[in-house]
């Protein structure tokens, strides 16, 4: 018999966070999170997402053993401002037992109906900067710190329980050696002259901070038309600045500005921390922090985390400026592989941006929905 319990205290939330450590123990492709970082994500006092969202966390038990988990999320901005009567769910993990996954999904249905919502969708997080999608292809590739990894049987569970595909995301990668500077160096100079633009590079995180709010504003403008987008609020901007900006190599953040110093494009790249996180196994101390610091300095793989272009400058070749700057940075750092985060399959514009790099789609993931 499967029982389900809501957790809210520190002990229960730690069990919620650590359940995948047993589900994926010694798995060569699963990348564990830092446990304390995950706990902060679910801390209503620290994560500003809770100012515009509610979340409940559930564990499934078989006798006294944890066999599954799920988070139920209601995003009030999405519901009240966008008119999407959606029940979100995420952090959905379970053993290969259809009864377990059904009990957890039934809890999402129950909460959604109680709140007069029309459909459920997942796996998703609180916002567009959270992890998204269940992996359906690419199980033989290592995960990243900003994506969920899962066993192949997950897809069967979603579809057996009557959920259908809502959105599909592609993950692509390419060798840095594929980047031929001739394809963007000339365009870089032309675009800068035509529109009066210039690149902005950084050597210290403190240099970025005065521009960070404007960068997040541009992020909101760049992605506003995508069907899945929920804007980042002012309190979330402050949280992300403190939590992430100082963690990223400053030379991996590039801006393009106009003559008035307005940001018209930006891109954030992160070194890959996947192998370092596997070695840390959820803990920064005593040795995990050293693995992460080494990866920050030495990783030959990089992840294109975010890229945003002001709507007025989209399709005007501004990315040539960004690519030109990253080319010189990557060449100096000895970067070998470039990995892109999940991109909506319908976002053809962003795929067009990368065509000269001969990217390969190595992973696919989906969100699933069900009417309530």
Q: Check whether residue 181 and residue 271 sit in a common domain.
A: yes
Domain-terminating residue out of 171, 202, 222:
171
Q: Check whether residue 161 and residue 236 sit in a common domain.
A: no
- For the cut 90, the answer to whether the pLDDT of residue 134 exceeds it is yes
| Cβ-Cβ contacts under 8 Å for 299 (sequence gap 6 or more) | 271, 272, 273, 276
- Domains in the chain, number: 2
Tens digits of per-residue pLDDT, 162-191? 999 999 999 999 999 999 888 888 889 999
Q: Check whether residue 86 and residue 137 sit in a common domain.
A: yes
Domain-terminating residue out of 171, 197, 230:
171
Q: Check whether residue 140 and residue 281 sit in a common domain.
A: no
Residue 371 forms part of a structural domain:
no
Domain-terminating residue out of 171, 195, 222:
171
Q: What's the pLDDT at 227?
A: 63
Q: How far is CA 278 from CA 12, 211, 290, 295, in A?
A: 24, 33, 13, 12
Residue 367 forms part of a structural domain:
no
Q: How far is CA 242 from CA 196, 205, 266, in A?
A: 32, 11, 18
Q: What is the mean pLDDT of residues 339-356?
A: 88
Q: What's the pLDDT at 105?
A: 98
Q: How many Å apart are CA 91 and CA 107, to the nearest integer?
A: 14
- For the cut 90, the answer to whether the pLDDT of residue 18 exceeds it is yes
- For the cut 70, the answer to whether the pLDDT of residue 363 exceeds it is yes
Q: Check whether residue 157 and residue 189 sit in a common domain.
A: no
Q: What is the mean pLDDT of residues 91-113?
A: 98
Q: How many Å apart are CA 58 and CA 174, to the nearest integer?
A: 39
- Between residues 258 and 228, which one has the greater pLDDT? 258
Share of the chain above pLDDT 70, in %: 99
Q: How many Å apart are CA 188 and CA 86, to the nearest integer?
A: 42
- For the cut 70, the answer to whether the pLDDT of residue 228 exceeds it is no
Cβ neighbours around 39 below 10 Å, total = 17
Which range of residues forms the domain containing residue 242? 175-362
Residue 370 forms part of a structural domain:
no
Q: Check whether residue 151 and residue 179 sit in a common domain.
A: no
Q: What's the pLDDT at 28?
A: 97
Residue 368 forms part of a structural domain:
no
Q: What's the pLDDT at 36?
A: 95
Q: How many Å apart are CA 136 and CA 149, to the nearest integer?
A: 10
Q: Check whether residue 194 and residue 264 sit in a common domain.
A: yes
Q: What's the pLDDT at 224?
A: 76
Q: Check whether residue 145 and residue 241 sit in a common domain.
A: no
Q: What's the pLDDT at 157?
A: 98
Residue 246 belongs to a domain with what CATH number?
3.40.630.30
Q: What's the pLDDT at 271?
A: 94
Q: Check whether residue 154 and residue 32 sit in a common domain.
A: yes
Residue 153 forms part of a structural domain:
yes
pLDDT, the chain, mean: 93
Which tokens go with 306?
Answer: 């975010």
Residue 254 forms part of a structural domain:
yes
Q: Check whether residue 152 and residue 227 sit in a common domain.
A: no
Per-residue confidence at 64, pLDDT binned at 50, 70, 90? Answer: very high
Q: Check whether residue 332 and residue 193 sit in a common domain.
A: yes
Q: Are 68 and 5 in contact (CB under 8 A)?
A: no
One-letter-per-residue 3-state SS of the chain:
CEEEEEECCHHHHHHHHHHHHHHCCCCCCCCCCCHHHHHHHCCCCCCHHHHCEEEEEEEEEECCEEEEEEEEEEEHHHHHCCCCCEEEEEEEEECCCHHHHHHHHHHHHHHHHHCCCCEEEECCCCCCCCCCCEEEECCCCCCCCCCCCCCCCHHHHHHHCCCEEEEEEEEEEEEHHHCCHHHCHHHHHHHHHHHCCEEECCCCHHHHHHHHHHHHHHHHHHHCCCCCCCCCCHHHHHHHHHHHHHHCCHHHEEEEECCCCCEEEEEEEEECCHHHHHHHCCCCCCCHHHHHHHHHHHCCEEEEEEEEECHHHCCCCCHHHHHHHHHHHHHHHCCCEEEECCEECCCHHHHHHCHHHCCEEEEEEEEEEEEC
Which tokens go with 17?
Answer: 């966070």
Tens digits of per-residue pLDDT, 24-53? 999 999 999 999 999 999 999 999 999 999
Q: Are 48 and 233 in contact (CB under 8 A)?
A: yes
Average the pLDDT over each of 24-28, 311-315, 364-368 and give the range with the smallest value. Answer: 311-315
Residue 113 forms part of a structural domain:
yes
Q: Are 120 and 89 in contact (CB under 8 A)?
A: yes
Residue 9 forms part of a structural domain:
yes
Q: Check whether residue 190 and residue 161 sit in a common domain.
A: no
Q: How many Å apart are CA 352 and CA 355, to the nearest integer?
A: 5
Q: What's the pLDDT at 237?
A: 84
Q: What's the pLDDT at 350?
A: 81
């Amino acid at each position: 018999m499967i029982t389900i319990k809501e957790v809210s205290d520190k002990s229960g939330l730690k069990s919620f966070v650590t359940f995948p450590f047993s589900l994926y123990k010694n798995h060569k492709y699963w990348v564990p999170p830092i446990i304390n970082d995950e706990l902060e994500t679910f801390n209503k006092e620290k994560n500003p997402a809770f100012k515009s969202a509610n979340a409940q966390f559930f564990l499934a038990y078989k006798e006294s053993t944890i066999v599954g988990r799920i988070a139920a999320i209601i995003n009030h901005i999405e519901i009240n401002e966008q008119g999407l009567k959606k029940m979100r769910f995420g952090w959905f993990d379970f053993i290969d037992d259809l009864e377990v996954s059904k009990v957890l999904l039934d809890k999402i249905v129950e909460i959604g109906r109680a709140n007069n919502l029309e459909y459920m969708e997942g796996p998703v997080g609180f916002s567009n900067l959270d992890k998204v999608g269940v992996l359906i292809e690419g199980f033989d590739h290592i995960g990243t710190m900003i994506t969920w990894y899962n066993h192949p049987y997950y897809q069967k569970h979603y579809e057996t329980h009557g959920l259908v595909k809502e959105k599909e995301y592609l993950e692509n990668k390419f060798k840095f050696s594929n980047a031929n500077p001739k394809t963007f160096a000339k365009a870089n100079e032309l675009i800068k002259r035509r529109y009066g633009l210039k690149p902005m590079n950084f050597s210290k995180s403190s240099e970025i901070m005065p521009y960070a709010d404007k960068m997040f504003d541009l992020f909101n403008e760049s992605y506003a038309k995508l069907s899945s987008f929920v804007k980042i609020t002012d309190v979330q901007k402050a949280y992300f600045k403190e939590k992430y900006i100082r963690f990223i190599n400053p030379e991996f953040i590039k801006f393009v500005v106009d003559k008035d110093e307005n940001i018209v494009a930006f891109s954030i790249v992160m070194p890959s921390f996947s192998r370092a996180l596997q070695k840390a196994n959820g803990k920064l101390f005593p040795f995990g922090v050293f693995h992460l610091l080494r990866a920050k300095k030495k990783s030959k793989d990089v992840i294109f985390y975010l890229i945003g272009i002001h709507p007025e400058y989209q399709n005007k070749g501004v990315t040539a400026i960004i690519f030109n700057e990253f080319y010189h940075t990557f060449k100096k750092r000895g970067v070998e592989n470039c990995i892109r985060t999940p991109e909506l399959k319908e976002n053809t514009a962003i795929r067009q941006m990368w065509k000269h790099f001969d990217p390969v789609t190595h992973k696919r993931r989906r969100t699933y929905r069900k009417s309530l």
